[in-house]
């Protein structure tokens, strides 16, 4: 019966294989199967995409992302340095520094520092964050008060299975330690209102974040009490007295997945901008001969970058100065190049008029160069020239994004770094759909095309 169905629809052999592979899913014992694994069995995606999806799923918060990149770096032989200590850097060695748990700089120490090639990305994503005194009891339910972090596409957070993760300050004999926590399982949801109770829901619904976002955690009996610090303590196997502060994010528990008839797309939370974080980390790790290559992963991009670990803070400059040993920093600075990588808006066929006619990036057609006359993106004629030549040598296609003249465009860490450090900068990114949704989509080919381009740039022969 399945075969006839396929023939009728002229489904190709790949789809037929998918149907056959999925057939056992009808049996109860196969419920634990991860659909992404089926795609991998069919070799629809590369090992790189497999590693990427693993990283995305393990990184529900900026702090988890930095911990996971740190682990990757340590496994590749990078040495962790403490900003509070004196450093004795050795040429040819590889180092990294973490600041405030959410930002990281890593590099390969050059024999002779001429200039740095810096790949930058940001670790934070728009999301919903738990308030300091979050528990509410309302209409027979325990609810959790949430604040909006960054430019969240709010409607996408409704009717999702949500969990919590974040970092917790642990009191430790007069000092404070930072520890990560991840509940991993779905602990709540923000249900939509039935359409019968809001007949205008499909015609321009407005969301009041204060009234409509409190998350439902459980039923609440009349005399019952709930304490969020106690919840955290139980999850972390600690006493409530040890919990002396927290930054906790809500996140959807659904894992990332390769989707599309031909496996063209990758759907996941936090693609903006953990996709770029993973690519730049791979570019540094895979190129062990690339002396003078540095990566910076900044926190707080989605809320303006002004912080100790944001791109408008002193982190990168501080590390650059310390890593530029026995050389004139000012000369090294002007010999350096910053490549800021953050996702770009791929054209959505249902909303094509939102893009300028000449600048309509497609998923899986290569890295997008972002240009803006008002310098919301830092790309200049010269850095554009460098990237075009690098792309030609690497045999990687490029696309351009320039927003409609009547639509403002976003910005990223590129202009901030260019402005703070005076380093020539280019803004690049992989095209994606639904930026700032709880579930974003990018192409499965673009991440490796971007990696190939960055690998070419580590050669420094164009800078
Ligand atoms: Zn971004």
Quote the ligand 1 centre to 414 CA distance (angstroms).
11
Quote the pLDDT of residue 44: 64
Here the tokens at position 90 are 């050795």
- Would the pLDDT of 400 be above 60? yes
pLDDT tens digits for range 430-456: 999 999 999 999 999 999 999 999 999
287: region left, alpha or beta (phi > 0 left; psi from -120 to 50 alpha): beta
Long-range (24+ apart) CB contacts under 8 A made by 388-394 are: 389/462, 390/453, 390/456, 390/457, 390/462, 391/366, 391/367, 391/453, 391/456, 393/456, 394/452, 394/453, 394/455, 394/456
Quote the pLDDT of residue 428: 97
Quote the ligand 1 centre to 291 CA distance (angstroms).
27
pLDDT tens digits for range 212-246: 999 999 999 988 999 999 999 999 999 999 999 99
Quote the ligand 1 centre to 339 CA distance (angstroms).
14
CA gap 338, 389 in Å, rounded? 16
CA gap 297, 82 in Å, rounded? 16
Question: pLDDT tier at 411 (50, 70, 90 boundaries)?
Answer: confident
Quote the ligand 1 centre to 106 CA distance (angstroms).
20
Sign of the dihedral through C-alpha 321, 322, 324, 328: positive
**Least confident piece of the model among 140-144, 353-357, 396-400:** 353-357
**Least confident piece of the model among 111-115, 284-288, 415-419, 438-442:** 415-419
Per this entry, what is the length of the chain?
463
Quote the ligand 1 centre to 416 CA distance (angstroms).
13
| Three-point CA angle 255, 96, 52, nearest 5° | 20
Quote the pLDDT of residue 36: 47
Quote the ligand 1 centre to 44 CA distance (angstroms).
27
304: region left, alpha or beta (phi > 0 left; psi from -120 to 50 alpha): left
Quote the ligand 1 centre to 196 CA distance (angstroms).
37
Quote the ligand 1 centre to 343 CA distance (angstroms).
6
CA gap 457, 85 in Å, rounded? 32
- Would the pLDDT of 10 be above 80? no
Question: pLDDT tier at 375 (50, 70, 90 boundaries)?
Answer: confident
pTM above 0.85, yes or no: yes
Between these two residues, 343 and 40, which has the higher pLDDT value? 343
Quote the ligand 1 centre to 393 CA distance (angstroms).
27
The burial of 194, by beta-carbon neighbours within 10 Å (0-12 exposed, 13-18 middle, 19 or more buried), is given as exposed
Quote the pLDDT of residue 1: 34
CA gap 44, 253 in Å, rounded? 24
Quote the ligand 1 centre to 9 CA distance (angstroms).
40
Tell me how crowded residue 65 is: count the other CB atoms within 10 A of its CB: 30
Query: What CA–CA distances, in Å, run from 49 to 88, 257, 268, 278?
Result: 37, 10, 12, 10
Quote the ligand 1 centre to 4 CA distance (angstroms).
46
**Mean of the pLDDT values across residues 249-253?**
98
Is-contact 346 432, C-beta < 8 A? yes
Is-contact 169 100, C-beta < 8 A? no
Quote the ligand 1 centre to 301 CA distance (angstroms).
7
Is-contact 342 270, C-beta < 8 A? no
Strand partners, 337: 117, 424
CA gap 90, 343 in Å, rounded? 35
Quote the ligand 1 centre to 428 CA distance (angstroms).
11
Quote the ligand 1 centre to 25 CA distance (angstroms).
36
Quote the ligand 1 centre to 94 CA distance (angstroms).
27
Quote the ligand 1 centre to 209 CA distance (angstroms).
22
Query: What CA–CA distances, in Å, run from 64 to 57, 134, 182?
Result: 10, 22, 9
Quote the ligand 1 centre to 122 CA distance (angstroms).
7
Which residues have a Cβ under 8 Å from the Cβ of 67 and sit 6 or more positions away? 101, 180
Quote the ligand 1 centre to 204 CA distance (angstroms).
26
CA gap 276, 288 in Å, rounded? 19
Percent pLDDT > 70 in the chain is 90
Quote the ligand 1 centre to 41 CA distance (angstroms).
32
Quote the ligand 1 centre to 223 CA distance (angstroms).
45
Quote the ligand 1 centre to 376 CA distance (angstroms).
13
Is-contact 403 460, C-beta < 8 A? no
CA gap 131, 137 in Å, rounded? 15
Quote the ligand 1 centre to 100 CA distance (angstroms).
19
């Amino acid at each position: 019966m399945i075969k006839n169905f396929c023939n009728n629809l002229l489904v190709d052999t790949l789809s037929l294989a998918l149907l056959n592979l999925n057939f056992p899913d009808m049996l109860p014992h196969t419920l634990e199967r991860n659909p992404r694994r089926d795609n991998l069995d069919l070799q629809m995606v590369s090992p790189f995409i497999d590693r990427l999806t693993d990283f995305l799923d393990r990184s529900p918060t900026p702090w988890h992302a930095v911990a996971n990149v740190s682990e990757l770096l340590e496994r590749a032989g990078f040495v962790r340095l403490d900003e509070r200590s004196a450093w004795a850097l050795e040429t040819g060695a590889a180092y990294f520094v973490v600041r405030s748990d959410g930002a990281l700089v890593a590099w390969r120490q050059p024999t002779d520092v001429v200039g740095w090639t810096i790949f930058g990305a940001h670790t934070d994503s728009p999301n919903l964050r738990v308030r300091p005194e979050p528990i509410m009891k309302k209409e027979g339910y325990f609810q959790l008060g949430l604040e909006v972090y960054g430019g969240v596409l709010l409607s996408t957070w409704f009717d999702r299975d949500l969990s919590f993760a974040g970092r917790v300050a642990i009191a430790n004999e007069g000092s404070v330690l930072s520890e990560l926590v991840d509940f991993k399982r779905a602990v709540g949801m923000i249900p939509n209102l039935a359409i019968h109770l809001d007949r205008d829901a499909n015609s321009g619904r407005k969301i009041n974040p204060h009234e409509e976002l409190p998350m439902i955690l459980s039923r609440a009996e009349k005399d019952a009490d709930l304490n969020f610090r106690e919840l955290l303590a139980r999850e972390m196997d600690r006493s409530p007295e040890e919990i002396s502060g927290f930054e906790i994010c809500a996140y959807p528990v659904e894992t990332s997945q390769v989707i599309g008839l031909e496996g063209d797309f990758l759907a996941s939370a936090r693609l903006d901008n953990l996709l770029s974080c993973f690519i730049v980390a791979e570019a540094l790790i895979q190129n062990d001969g690339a002396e003078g290559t540095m990566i910076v992963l900044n926190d707080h991009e989605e809320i303006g970058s002004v912080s100790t670990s944001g791109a408008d803070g002193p982190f990168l400059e501080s590390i650059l100065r310390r890593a530029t040993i026995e050389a004139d920093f000012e000369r090294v600075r002007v010999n350096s190049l910053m490549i800021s990588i953050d996702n770009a808006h791929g054209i959505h066929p249902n909303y094509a008029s939102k893009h300028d006619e000449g600048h309509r990036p497609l998923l899986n057609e290569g890295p997008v160069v972002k240009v803006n006359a008002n310098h919301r993106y830092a790309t200049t004629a010269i850095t554009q020239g460098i990237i075009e030549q690098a792309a030609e040598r690497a045999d990687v296609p490029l696309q351009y994004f320039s927003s409609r003249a009547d639509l403002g465009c976003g910005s990223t860490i590129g202009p901030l770094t260019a402005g703070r450090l005076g380093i020539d900068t280019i803004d690049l990114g992989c095209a994606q759909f639904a930026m700032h949704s709880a579930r974003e989509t990018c192409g499965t080919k673009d991440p490796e095309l971007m990696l190939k381009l960055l690998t070419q740039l580590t050669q420094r022969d164009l800078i």
